[in-house]
């Protein structure tokens, strides 16, 4: 029943296709979940690293990958501080909203599905 519910959410909302198409790493997926909880936040890498209890060096590549995939946008102020925030593209916002609506069990099933699909390539 949980699987059917997840299939309905991911198929109708195209969440699974979005995640599969972009081939997000585990850390990138964790960042997506982080932004699903904070969809309007504009944060520096220092703040993100502290909130996620992760080293900045580990986040740098994942955040850059999300910027390159147009999921996140970056803004540099005049003092050299870069902040990151969710892209304003409607598709990205919709997928992040769908991701935030999944419960823990559904997220674990989704992760397993994504790992299974990755093995097919």
**Interval 54-102: pLDDT, tens:** 888 889 999 999 999 999 999 998 888 999 999 987 678 888 888 888 8
Where b means 16+ CB within 10 Å and e means fewer, 4-21 reads eebeebbeebebbebbee
Extents of the domains making up the chain: 2-120
Beta bridge partners of 86: 72
DSSP string, 2-21: HHHHHHHHHHHHTHHHHHHH
User: Class for domain 2-120, per CATH?
Assistant: mainly alpha
pTM listed for this prediction = 0.76
């Amino acid at each position: 029943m949980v699987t059917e519910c997840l299939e309905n959410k991911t198929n109708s909302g195209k969440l699974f296709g979005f995640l599969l198409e972009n081939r997000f790493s585990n850390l990138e997926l964790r960042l997506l979940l982080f932004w699903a909880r904070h969809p309007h936040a504009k944060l520096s890498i220092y703040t993100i690293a502290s909130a996620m209890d992760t080293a900045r060096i580990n986040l740098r590549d994942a955040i850059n990958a999300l910027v390159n995939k147009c999921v996140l946008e970056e803004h540099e102020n005049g003092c050299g501080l870069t902040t990151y925030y969710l892209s304003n593209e409607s598709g990205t916002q919709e997928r992040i909203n769908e991701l935030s609506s999944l419960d823990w069990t559904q997220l674990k099933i989704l992760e397993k599905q994504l790992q299974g699909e990755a093995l097919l390539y």
